[in-house]
Structures are given as structure tokens and as C-alpha cells.
């Protein structure tokens, strides 16, 4: 679980990333994880200085305490809404069984999504819903390296094959319903895998195409379009959007990791392996930059430690 300082930092980033207004002052209950980074980020985004403070006494502190009380009330309302949602969810699952004409309720659903933004770091995600709710402990992510970056169908075939080959070998539970983010092409690729594994009669599989929210079935030309108000459609959209979010998050992490390693590998004598060891030990480029000779020498040779110190000295920005 994230600590309060990390939550504060995420909240500031999420709020101001799409906000056009920056106040002169921001009051916080605790210091964010990286105050220097947040201050610099806000300054660059808004081209304006902002004073971030953590009031301890006076009217400003009272304002913080009132805001905290309001947040607690909102949280309680949110928890109550989630508890009442528990009862609605199971109805949505039963509605989905009815609307898709399934033999049994799709209590366990798995959804696949591919992400290959700008053709780099081709990744796929798998999210799992049980009784209409995310089961995050069962989420999986896949880094695709064996297929053409532009072949979405081959990518889908690869990850579906990897997923269900493993479940079968482990004798693990198979889903009641597989949702493929995409249309006929992606669905056909996944359906081909189920046939190869001879489990096509054990699992129902559908494709959900985003443009018209059409539902496709294997080997059928006609699609199904549910009413926008349908609880069945909302459940399918929820799992599809969650798979997309999870894929994008994984893609972003890989991209950031690649950028960090590229920067470290620019240092003479520091290759991929040494870069990985440095990042693993120090945690970030910032921490490597702040390390002294003795700290660096614990991970790399004296020569490499001097190279790192010289590099950051000559690249202070």
C-alpha cells in the first residue's frame, strides 16, 4: 500500500496535469514523497512559481484539518457505495449470462489487451474479474518479443497461447468467459488457440470492438449490440477498460525504465549489466547522481565510480 506522502504526490500530479490554474500557495497535510520534484514539475508546467507549505498551527492548519474531515466523509460515502454495489454486481453477471445466451453465469472473466504505443515495448495485459469485480492478484502482464510489432493478431495469439497452456499444465481454473479487446481479427486469433488446445467447448469467448461497442462471437458474421444502458455492456466495458489501463501502465513503466537505463549507459564503461545493478541498488538516477565515491564503489569498480562522478559533474542538469 502507498504511504501518505506518496498518495499526496500522486494526488497533486493527477489534479494539476489537466488543470489550467495554479494558485500562489498550496497547503498540504504532510510533505509529498519528492517535494523538490513536484515544485519543479509545477514550475515547468505553469511557468510560474508556487509556494508549497505544510502548516502546523493557525488558520491554515485549521483549513487543512477541515479538508481532512471532508475527505473522510467522502471516503465513507465511497465505501458505502461500494458495499451496495456488491449486490448490483452479481445481477450484472446474471444479465450478461442472459444477454450472451450462456449456459452458466460468467463468474470468472478474463480480458486481454495489447499495447504498442509508437511501435515500442510491445506488451499485453490480462485482467481477471470474479463475480463482476476485479481480482487484481490474478492480473498478468506479457512482454511480447517473438512476433512482428505491427501484427496485432499474432500478438493476441501468442499471449492467449501462453496463458492457457500454462493454466492447463498447472491444472488451474479456466475462466467462464474470455473477453478480447478487439474485433473479428483479434477474436479469430484467440479462437484458433482455444481450438489448438482443445478447450473451445469449455470456455466462451467474445470480442468487444470499441468503436460501436459491438460484441463478436467466433465463426459468426453477425455482431450483437447491447443498449448503452445495459448492465451487461457496462460490465464488459469495465473489464475491457481495466485491461487497457493495466496494459498502458505496464507499457509506461517499461518505457520509463528504458529511458533511465539509456541515460546511465551513456556513461563511458557502463553497459547494460552495470546499469541494471546500479538502478537495482540505488533505485533511481537521482540517487545515483547523489551517491559519493565510496557508495558507488560498493557496486562498481573504482574506475567506473570515477567515470560516474565525472559524468554527473559535467552534466549537472
Average pLDDT estimate for 156-178 = 95
Average pLDDT estimate for 158-166 = 95
- What's the Cα-to-Cα distance from 200 to each of 185, 193, 271, rounded to whole Å? 17, 9, 47
Average pLDDT estimate for 167-191 = 94
Euclidean distance between CA atoms 105 and 86, whole angstroms: 16
Whole-number pLDDT of residue 133: 92
Percent of the chain surpassing pLDDT 90? 43
Angle between helices 35-46 and 4-16 (to 10 degrees): 0
- pLDDT level of residue 261 (50, 70, 90 thresholds): low
pLDDT digits (tens, 9 = 90+) for 224-259: 999 999 999 999 999 999 998 888 887 677 666 665
Question: Where are the chain's structural domains?
Answer: 4-86, 96-251, 266-314
- What's the Cα-to-Cα distance from 218 to each of 102, 112, 161, 180, 187, rounded to whole Å? 14, 16, 17, 11, 7
Please state which CATH class domain 96-251 belongs to.
Answer: alpha beta
Whole-number pLDDT of residue 145: 67
| pLDDT at 109 exceeding the cut of 90 | yes
- pLDDT level of residue 142 (50, 70, 90 thresholds): confident
CATH of 266-314, one of 3.40.50.1110, 3.20.20.140, 1.10.150.20, 1.10.3720.10: 1.10.150.20
The helix (run of H) or strand (run of E) holding residue 222 is: none
CA angle 59, 23, 317 (to 5 degrees): 120
For the chain, the average pLDDT equals 86
Q: Where are the beta strands (DSSP E) in 5-63?
A: 25-27, 51-53
- pLDDT level of residue 26 (50, 70, 90 thresholds): very high
| pLDDT at 1 exceeding the cut of 50 | no
Measured in degrees and rounded to the nearest 5, phi and psi for residue 275 equal: -60, -45
Amino acid at each position: 500500500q502507498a504511504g501518505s506522502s506518496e498518495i499526496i504526490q500522486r494526488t497533486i500530479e493527477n489534479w494539476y496535469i489537466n488543470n489550467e490554474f495554479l494558485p500562489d500557495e498550496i497547503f498540504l497535510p504532510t510533505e509529498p514523497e519528492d517535494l523538490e520534484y513536484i515544485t519543479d514539475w509545477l514550475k515547468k508546467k505553469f511557468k510560474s512559481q508556487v509556494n508549497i507549505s505544510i502548516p502546523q498551527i493557525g488558520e491554515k492548519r485549521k483549513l487543512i484539518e477541515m479538508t481532512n474531515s471532508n475527505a473522510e466523509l467522502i471516503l465513507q460515502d465511497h465505501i458505502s457505495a461500494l458495499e451496495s454495489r456488491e449486490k448490483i454486481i452479481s445481477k450484472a453477471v446474471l444479465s450478461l449470462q442472459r444477454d450472451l445466451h450462456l449456459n452458466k453465469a460468467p463468474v470468472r472473466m478474463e480480458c486481454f489487451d495489447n499495447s504498442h504505443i509508437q511501435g515500442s515495448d510491445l506488451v499485453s495485459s490480462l485482467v481477471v474479474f470474479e463475480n463482476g469485480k476485479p481480482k487484481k492478484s490474478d492480473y498478468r502482464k506479457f512482454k511480447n518479443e517473438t512476433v512482428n510489432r505491427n501484427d496485432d493478431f499474432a500478438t493476441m495469439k501468442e499471449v492467449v497461447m501462453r496463458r492457457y497452456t500454462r493454466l492447463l499444465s498447472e491444472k488451474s481454473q479456466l475462466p467462464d468467459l474470455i473477453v478480447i479487446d478487439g474485433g473479428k481479427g483479434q477474436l479469430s486469433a484467440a479462437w484458433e488457440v482455444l481450438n489448438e488446445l482443445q478447450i473451445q467447448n469449455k470456455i466462451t469467448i467474445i470480442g468487444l470492438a470499441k468503436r460501436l461497442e459491438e460484441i463478436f462471437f467466433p465463426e459468426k458474421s453477425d455482431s450483437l449490440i447491447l443498449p448503452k444502458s445495459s448492465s451487461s455492456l457496462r460490465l464488459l466495458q469495465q473489464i475491457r477498460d481495466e485491461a487497457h489501463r493495466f496494459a498502458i501502465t505496464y507499457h509506461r513503466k517499461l518505457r520509463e525504465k528504458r529511458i533511465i537505463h539509456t541515460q546511465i549507459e551513456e556513461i563511458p564503461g557502463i553497459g547494460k549489466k552495470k546499469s541494471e545493478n546500479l538502478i537495482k541498488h540505488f533505485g533511481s538516477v537521482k540517487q545515483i547522481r547523489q551517491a559519493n565515491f565510496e557508495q558507488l564503489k560498493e557496486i562498481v569498480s573504482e574506475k567506473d565510480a570515477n567515470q560516474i562522478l565525472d559524468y554527473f559533474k559535467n552534466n549537472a542538469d
